[in-house]
Structure formats: C-alpha cells, structure tokens
Structure 1
Amino acid sequence: MSRLVPWTRTVVGLLAAGILLDLRFWTWPWARAASLLDDHLLFVLFAVPALLVAAAPALLRRRAAAWTYQSRAVIEEPKCPWLLSYPGVGIVVALVATVGVVALMSMMSLASSAVKGAQPGLQIEVIKSGLGLFAASGAVAALLLALRRQRHVELAQVHTELDATERRFTDLYTKAVEQLGSADAAVRLGGLYALERAAQNDIGQRQTIVNVLCAYLRMPYQPPVAAAAVGGRAHEVNGDLPVELPLGSGERQPQDGRDAKLEFQVRLTAQGILTLHLTCPLDPAYDMVRFCPPSRTSDFWPFLDIDLTGATLIDWALPQGYVSKALFENAVFVGRTVFDGVAFAGEARFGGARFDGEVRFDDAVFHGVASFADVRFAEPPSFNDASAESQSTRSDVWPPGWRLGQSDSRFTKLVHE
C-alpha cells in the first residue's frame, strides 16, 4: 500500500491545482488581504511562531510511528527532527527575534510620524511590544528544548523496552536451539514449536529461525523404511497431505541415540512448520504477495529464503507457496513432492536433486533463474501451466523434455517436447 501514497499525493496535487485555476485566484482582492495583514501585524507575528510550535508535537508523533517496525520497537532509529535540533532551535529563535526587530523598527517609524505630543507614549508602547516579542522568542526556545528533552525520555524508554524484548527472544531462542540437540524426540518437538512461536511474534527474526529449521533438515538422515514399501499412513503437521509411516523395526539406531522412527516425526514437524508459513493466502502467481505484509496475526511469512541443500524431505508439499530464494540442490525427495502454484521470486535451484516419487510443479511461476541440472526423477515430472518470466538473458536449465515456449507477454509457459 505504501506504493500508492506517491500516486495519491500526485492526484490530490493535480486536483488542487485544477480547483485554484478554476477559481481564478489571480483575480482575488490580494490588495485588500495585504491591507488586513498590515492592520493585524502583531497577530500575524505571534501566530506564525505559535503555529510552528503547535505543529511540532504532531511532527514528532508522525516520526515516532516509524520507530515501531514489525514486532520490535526500533529497527532503524530515525534522524533527529530538524525543529528540535540545536541548529533548528537557534534558527527558530533567530527568526522570531528578527521578526521582532523588524516589527520594532516599523512601529518606531510609525510612532515617529505621529503627532509630536503623542510620540513619547507611542514610543514607550513600541518598546514594550518589542520586549514582548523578544520574550516570545525566549519562550519558543524554552518550549522547543522541553520538547527535545521529552523526546529523549521517550527514546530512552523505547530502547529499554527493545533491550528487554531482545533479551527475552535471545533466551527463548537459545533454549529452543538447545532442545533441538536433545536425544529425546519430545524435547526436540518442543524446541521446534518454541522457535515457531518466537518467529510468529518477532517478524525481524523469522529469517534466522527459518535458517535454523532448514539447517536441522539438512542434517544427514536416512528414513527407517522407504515410504513406498510400507502400508501404514500418518498425517503431516498441517494435515493437508498424507505421508507414509514407516513400520519396519529392523533399522539401525543412529550413533547419537535418536530413534529413527521418532526422528521421522520430528522432521515431518519441521517440514510442516516451513510449509505452513510459506503458503500464501492469496495467489502468489499474480504478485499479490505485496498486499500481504509481514504480520504477527497472519500465518504467512513472506519474503523469506530457504536453503535445503542436501536435505532429505519426505512427502514435501508446498501448494500456493511463496519463496524469495529456494535452494534444493542435491536434496532427496522421498514420496510425493508437490510444488503446485508456488511462486519462486528469486533463484530456484534443484541441481543434483533426486525425486523418488510423484513430482508436480503445476502452475508454478519462476521469477528468477531456475536450474534442474542433473536432476533424477523416478517418475516423469509435471509442469503443466508452469511459467517463467520472459527474459532473453535467462540461463535456466529445465528437466529433460521441458522448455520455455514462445510468448510476447511477461510470462512464458513451459511446454512439453
């Protein structure tokens, strides 16, 4: 929505210009207005600084709105408002004093041209008014300095709250990562859900936590039994697609003491957390993601990169997903793999990956370079209605039998040879 603001200002400016031209402002009685200002010169001299001072708190509140970005108090501290800087205070005071001097000289000139008997009294009144203007400049300076002190107090409070938030996140993050190293599957599951909760509440740390989840899935892992060779079934964390549940019992236990079947469930949970929060509620193929800014109330985490290089993924399903950059090089996909409707905003690299089951990229959109070099498929992949941005400099490597077709539009469909 922020992109609409410049256009809105332009439209409002054009409408205002059209209204002024239609009213023929050059025919207005400007001479009479100047006469009125001259008759109320003292009011104008006091009103202009008063308006500036009155506008200062509003400007501060507007700048303070930028202090709260995402879920934390301060990400980038704003620059000091010009009006409250020491040069700004000095300039405002000098401006008010200059206006006072000019007004004093003008009134002294008027008093000198009065009747001789009235000149002394008028000059005394002029001096009183001039002293009042100089006192007003001092009052303006005192008010601006008070506002400056108040702003520093508010900033100190914001930084204190930020430090407390950072400490809470660090403690939660450290404890959750330690839980991922436990030999107890229940403890590892608790660590995963703790990381998910931390990322949901702290938008600025989502990429870090996604990196931890990806690193966990990249660790070497051998499923207990090939998914296609068993008949039991369980459900993935998000409940969308069923996964094959290994029932074999003759598997060798890992050296770290982790039960292979329990680790299977832990990894499904990690996959489910990723796929749940990378699924876009709108259509990612039509650039609708920009209307879904990061939010603490939405399950969708936009604009994130995932690096699952060399990971073992079981029944991976990311329908209608949105990923900024996706690295799946040398990954092993066990069971069914679904990338239907996924929008790859950046690079999508699957070089050397192995797909042991059904593979679907139907309606997927590749905005960046896509690489499927040396990919091994157990079954023919499906890229029905998949498309890529039409660029003459693309260096894509598509699976055997698929290529970009001819198109004059922004996107080009993949066609099967």
Structure 2
Amino acid sequence: MSDWLRWLLIAIVVLAAVGLVVGRRVSPDRLRVSWLRMPDLAGRGSILVSVLAWLVVAIVVAGGTTGGLLWFLGWPKLPAAGVFGVDQLLDLLKIALSVVAGFGGVVLLAVNYRKQRVTEKEHDLAVDKADRETVQSFNERLGTAAEQLAHESPAVRLTGVYALAGLADDWVDKRQVCVDVLCGYLRLQPEVMTPGETEVRQAILRMIRDRLAGFEWWLPVDFDFTGIVFENADFSGLRFPGRVVVFDRATFTGELTSFDHTRFEGLLSCHGAQFSAVRTSITYAWFNGGAEFVGAEFGGQQLICSGWDARAPVDFYRCRFPVGSLDFSALSIEHAVVRFEQAEFSDAALDFGLLGNWSGSGAFARLSFEDVRFIRCRLDLQFLSESERAIWLTDCLLDTTAVVIDDREASMPWLNLRNVELRGGTEIPEEIIRRPRSLSSAPRPSTPAPEA
C-alpha cells in the first residue's frame, strides 16, 4: 500500500474518532440514534452535533468513493512523495483545497438545512396557535349566540339567529352543530305564539332557505324538523344535501305547502307528518336517497306530486288520504319503486299517468299498490309511452272505481294483478293485464255495487 493512501485512511479514522468524542461530550444520548436523524432543536450544542455528523458522513462517502475507484483501477502503485515536482505539488495542493472547500460546503448545507427546519417548526407552531385562537373565537361566538337565543327579548333572540347563521357560514367543522341549535329552537314550541316569536322563527327559516337555494352553501348538513308546525311552508327550489331530512310528526297548515323542485340528496323522513294545508304541492321533486311517508296524513283539497324523479324507493305506508284530488302523474322512476301499502282512497280522483317519463323496466322500476282499497274513485292510468310499464296491484280492492286507460292499443301487457277484487262494476281491460302464473292469483270478476 502506498504511503499517501495509508495516511488518508489514518486521517479518516482520526476524524471519525474526534466526531464520536465531541458528540459524546455534547449530547451523550445521541449515540443511540442514527447520525442522519435530526437532533432536538431545543438541545444545547445540537447544531455542532449536526455539523459533525454530516462531516463524518461526507468523509465516509468520500473515502468509500476513493477506495472504490482505486479498486476499480486495480490499486495502482503511485511514486513516492519525494519524486513529485513543483507542478505536481501545486496540483495536489489544489485537490486538497477542493476537498476542504467541499467539506465547507457540507458544513454550510448542514447549517442551512438546520435553519430551514427551525423555520418550518416555527411556522407549524404559529399555524397551530392561530388555529387554536380561531377555534376559541368560534366557541366564544357560539356561546354568545346561544345566550342571545335564550334571552327574553325577541329583538335579542333575533340577533342571536343572525349571529348563529353567520357562525355556521364561517365555521365549517361545526356547521352541523349550529344548524342543530337553530332546528332545536324551532322544535321548542312555546305555549303562546307572540308576534315577536313568530318573527324569530320566520328569520330562522329564512336563513335556512337562503343557504340552501344555491349549490355552494352549507354542504352537506342534516336537518331535523321533528314536531314543528309550519304555516304556508315554502321549501321550493331548495337542495337538501345531507344524509337525512326529518319532518317526523311535523304539521303543515295554511293555504299552501310547497316542495316544488326540491332536491333531496339523502333520505326524506315524514313519519306521522300531517299535511293539512288547503293545497300541498310537491311537484318535480328529486329523491336520490328515498322517501318514507309512514303514518302520514294528506288532508286539504288538493295533493299534487307530479313530475317526481325517484332514484330510490319512495314508500307510502299506512298513510291516510282524506283529500279529494291526488295528482301523481309524470313520474320518472329509475331502478326504484314508488309503493303505496295499507292505504285507502275514497271519493277521490287519482292520476297516475306516467306520460312517457318512465325509466328502467320490470321489477327495477315500478309503481306498486299493496293492500290498498279504492272506493268510489277515479283511477287514471293513461300513458303516452310505448315502452314497458310495470304497475303492480297486490291484495287490492277496487269498489265502484272507474279505471281510465288510454284508447290506443297497448304494445304489451303492463298491469300486474295479484289477488285483486273488483266490485261495483269496476272493469279493467284484459289486453293490458299480464297473465298470472296460476288461476288462484287471477283477478276476481266484477260484482255489482250493493243497493243502498
């Protein structure tokens, strides 16, 4: 081995030993971790330890590179030091200075990297502090708004409504909490409704309506309107983007209840709701998560539910329909079911003409009546579409009911009857009936109406 190579290896070992000794004296616990791991920013002498660590890494890399190159060249034998001339010594001096400059660059990079880490840490701490201060400010605003809502003065409560709505606009993470507080206030029905209290409740509904009329506000949030009394409710043109909208045991009064062009992204729950307005209009509504009308009552003079876009099941279970006119025409059903079960219609005109807006086929998209009684009704089933329609009547009774069918010849049978009884002269054209698999499930023949 040449003399210069021997002295180079000795220098590398000496520098590594010096780095270990200095590192032990400055921070003894650093010996149990990797040199590449960044030392604690708060530790004394951590910058010196970091610089020495990177220097040792640079020396090891340089020594390994040099040894690998010499091994690749077959460990050539170089002349002794006394043979070098002045030019060769100057070249060696330049190489040595370049090596020293390289180590200086390593030191500079280590220091700059250290400063960058410190700057990033300070930035993260500043961001965390700002977030904590923002959350604290939001909590203070929430507490103030809640106190205002509980105030005796209607003017102060009205201020709390606007404050809470503004907080819901700003505080995305707790927007649902703000909405729950507003809906909870509506559910607390006072014994005596004063003009001031009426104004506060109208302001809440107005705030909700303003923020559901577009596509960028309050998305997504759930609403719970359980047990609330609405007079002349207007939810038309709104978009409910949450998982569920609850109107259980709610009461709708006045001249008009409107859900026209309303979009329900999640489930609409109307268990025990009472639609008592003179006119209830739910036209061109969009049900993406389904709807449940369970034990609901539809009173008044007119119920209009035309133009629905049902993409999930819509169920009317054990509902009451003391209303004279029901319009369910132009339904668009896509791989879903609109089902009426355990209901009774009497002295009513029902329009279920689909008017060509049928989507899907067979069992995937159908209009179903199960255990339904039609007494002295007019049942309109006129169609303008040549495609297959699937309508099911199962365990139903049609007594003195006029079934209106279009005069054109049907392209295929589309009315399914299972255990259906016809009374009082009720007739259904045979050409539109799908033949049952067994005679036991065939529609029973019509019987005359009993004499008064």
TM-score by length of 2: 0.53
Residue 128 of structure 1: which of 92, 97, 112 is its match?
97
Q: Which residue of 1 aligns with 2:435?
A: none
Residue 222 of structure 2: which of 284, 305, 329 is its match?
305
Q: What one-letter code is carried by the residue in structure 2 that aligns with 1:383?
A: C
Identity of aligned residues (%): 24
Report the alpha carbon displacement of residue 330 of structure 1 after superposing the two structures with TM: 0.8
How big is each residue's C-alpha offset from its partner over 1:248-293, in whole Å with a ceiling of 9 and x where there is no partner? xxxxxx4xxxx62321121111111111111125xxxxxxxxxx4x
1:407 to 2:359 alignment: yes
Q: Which residue of 2 aligns with 1:179?
A: 148
Q: Which residue of 2 aligns with 1:327?
A: 246
Give the gaps of 5 or more residues in structure 1: 1-83, 223-253, 282-291, 293-299
Residues 104 and 127 in structure 1, CA contact (< 8 A), matched pair in contact too: no
Call closer, same or farther: CA 1:345–1:114 in 2, change over 3 Å: farther
Call closer, same or farther: CA 1:329–1:156 in 2, change over 3 Å: same
1:215 to 2:184 alignment: yes
Q: Distance in 1 between matches of 2:142 and 2:61?
A: 59
1:359 to 2:280 alignment: yes
Report the alpha carbon displacement of residue 183 of structure 1 after superposing the two structures with TM: 1.9
Report the alpha carbon displacement of residue 146 of structure 1 after superposing the two structures with TM: 1.2
Q: Distance in 1 between matches of 2:288 and 2:57?
A: 55
1:272 to 2:209 alignment: no
Q: Which residue of 2 aligns with 1:202?
A: 171
- The structure carrying a bigger helix percent of its residues is 1
How big is each residue's C-alpha offset from its partner over 1:384-416, in whole Å with a ceiling of 9 and x where there is no partner? 2111215xxx4744777756375229x979898
Q: Distance in 2 between matches of 1:375 and 1:95?
A: 78
Q: Distance in 2 between matches of 1:306 and 1:374?
A: 20
TM-score by length of 1: 0.57
Q: Select between 114-123 and 261-270 the one with higher mean Cα deviation.
A: 114-123
Q: Which residue of 1 aligns with 2:111?
A: 142
Call closer, same or farther: CA 1:152–1:193 in 2, change over 3 Å: same
Q: What one-letter code is carried by the residue in structure 2 that aligns with 1:306?
A: F
Give the SS at the match of 2:179.
helix
Report the alpha carbon displacement of residue 217 of structure 1 after superposing the two structures with TM: 0.7
Report the alpha carbon displacement of residue 204 of structure 1 after superposing the two structures with TM: 2.5
CA RMSD of aligned residues (A): 3.7
Q: Which residue of 1 aligns with 2:270?
A: 350
Q: Which residue of 1 aligns with 2:20?
A: none
Q: How does 1:184-195 map to 2 (within 5 A)?
A: 184-195=153-164
Give the gaps of 5 or more residues in structure 2: 1-35, 40-49, 329-336, 339-353, 369-379, 382-452
Call closer, same or farther: CA 1:85–1:107 in 2, change over 3 Å: closer
Residue 388 of structure 1: which of 306, 310, 315 is its match?
310
1:378 to 2:288 alignment: no
Report the alpha carbon displacement of residue 108 of structure 1 after superposing the two structures with TM: 7.2
Residue 232 of structure 2: which of 290, 299, 315 is its match?
315
Q: What one-letter code is carried by the residue in structure 2 that aligns with 1:354?
A: Q
Q: Which residue of 2 aligns with 1:338?
A: 258
Report the alpha carbon displacement of residue 365 of structure 1 after superposing the two structures with TM: 1.1
- The structure carrying a bigger strand percent of its residues is 2
Q: What one-letter code is carried by the residue in structure 2 that aligns with 1:264?
A: T
How big is each residue's C-alpha offset from its partner over 1:182-241, in whole Å with a ceiling of 9 and x where there is no partner? 22111111110111122222233321111111001111246xxxxxxxxxxxxxxxxxxx
Q: Distance in 1 between matches of 2:194 and 2:130?
A: 43
How big is each residue's C-alpha offset from its partner over 1:304-338, in whole Å with a ceiling of 9 and x where there is no partner? 11111112222222222221120111111222222
